[in-house]
Amino acid sequence: MTVKDIISKARNEKRTILTEIEAKQIFKEAGINCTDTRLAVTKKDAVSLSEEIGYPVVLKISSVDITHKSDAGGVKVNLKDKSEVENAFDEIMASCKAGYPDANIEGISVQGMAKSGVEIIMGMIQDPKFGSVLMFGLGGVLVEVLQDVSFRVVPLDAGDASEMVSEIKGRKLLEGYRGQDPADIPYLEDMLLKLSAFVADKPEIKEIDMNPVFAYKDGAIVVDARIILEEE
Ligand code: ADP
Ligand code: MG
């Protein structure tokens, strides 16, 4: 499905929140690397998708009504075989249905388990004064506690992308802190430029959240993604 198709499907269903699967399909079209993520409606689907994708896999609740999937017991990582996938499927469903009895659940998404890297966030928000603004920062507790993020107005040029990465306080973590691999900074800058080019002509997109992105010595991958559309 193209970006247009995904957005019109959401419009038809009167929703402004896109699922993780839809958001990743859109980013893929924008040339941004994401974990291959597919929808399982039944437990049997989840097992066959896991086998196609290859173990270990991650299962997540797929519902536009559940924003914080892990808080709802809706994420199980590093599942190594069929029985772990089957158990995870049941546990996710039970936990999410108990916590969100009114949620509309479309199924459970299956994706490959990405190897760990430096956790990054990237996103886009609409500022009433500046329009589309990109955000870059370190993920996990660092963003929650320290709010160590940088912003630039779209469209970005190469200098903006480079400044966004270099001006965060935690940049040492990207440079290879205490034996950890450094992050591929030129690759991250390129992701920001791709995101900027992508959102520049998409006024119907209100908000983008890639949290987290795992950054590696070579490349990076988006493991969780969300897109919110403007009201029609
Ligand atoms: P939410 O933010 O809605 O709670 P996430 O999709 O971000 O859910 O998943 C929670 C955490 O699980 C992530 O921060 C990440 O550490 C881990 N995770 C999610 N997807 C993957 C994946 N494909 N590979 C490895 N780890 C993952
Ligand atoms: Mg997340």
Q: Which residues contact 131 (CB under 8 A, 6 or more apart)?
A: 153, 154
Q: Is the pLDDT of residue 228 over 80?
A: yes
Model confidence at 177, in pLDDT bands (50, 70, 90)?
A: confident
Taking the centre of ligand 1 as the mean of its atom positions, its distance from the CA of residue 212, in whole angstroms, is 7
User: Average model confidence (pLDDT) for the chain?
Assistant: 95
73 lines ligand 1 (CB under 6 A): no
- Structure confidence by residue, pLDDT tens digits, 10-47: 999 999 999 999 999 999 999 999 999 999 999 999 99
Q: Which residues contact 57 (CB under 8 A, 6 or more apart)?
A: 49, 50, 79, 85, 110, 111, 112, 113
The answer to whether the CB of 96 falls within 8 A of the CB of 106 is no
Taking the centre of ligand 2 as the mean of its atom positions, its distance from the CA of residue 63, in whole angstroms, is 14
Query: Of 16-25, 94-103, 105-114, 145-154, which gets the smallest average pLDDT?
Result: 145-154
Average pLDDT of the segment spanning 98-117: 97
- Structure confidence by residue, pLDDT tens digits, 182-224: 999 999 999 999 999 999 999 999 999 999 999 999 999 999 9
Q: HSE, CB side, 13 Å, CA atoms: give it for residue 141.
A: 0
- Structure confidence by residue, pLDDT tens digits, 130-167: 999 999 999 877 667 778 899 999 999 999 999 999 99
Model confidence at 94, in pLDDT bands (50, 70, 90)?
A: very high
Q: Which domains does the chain have, with CATH numbers?
A: 3-112 (3.30.1490.20), 118-229 (3.30.470.20)
Protein residue closest via CA to atom 5 of ligand 1: 224
Instruction: Measure Cα distances from 144 to 17, 95, 137, 148, 149 in Å.
Output: 22, 25, 10, 8, 10
Model confidence at 232, in pLDDT bands (50, 70, 90)?
A: confident
Q: Which ligand is nearest to the CA of 69?
A: 1
Average pLDDT of the segment spanning 66-72: 96
78 lines ligand 1 (CB under 6 A): no
Residue whose token pair is 């089957």: 86
Ligand 1 atom at shortest distance from the alpha carbon of 112 = 23
What is the Cα 180 distance to its own chain's centre? 23
Closest CA to 133 of 82, 195, 73: 195
pTM of the model: 0.96
Give the Cα separation of 146 and 170 in Å (integer): 10
- Residue 142 is predicted with a pLDDT of 66
Question: Other CB atoms closer than 10 Å to residue 117's CB: what's the count?
Answer: 20
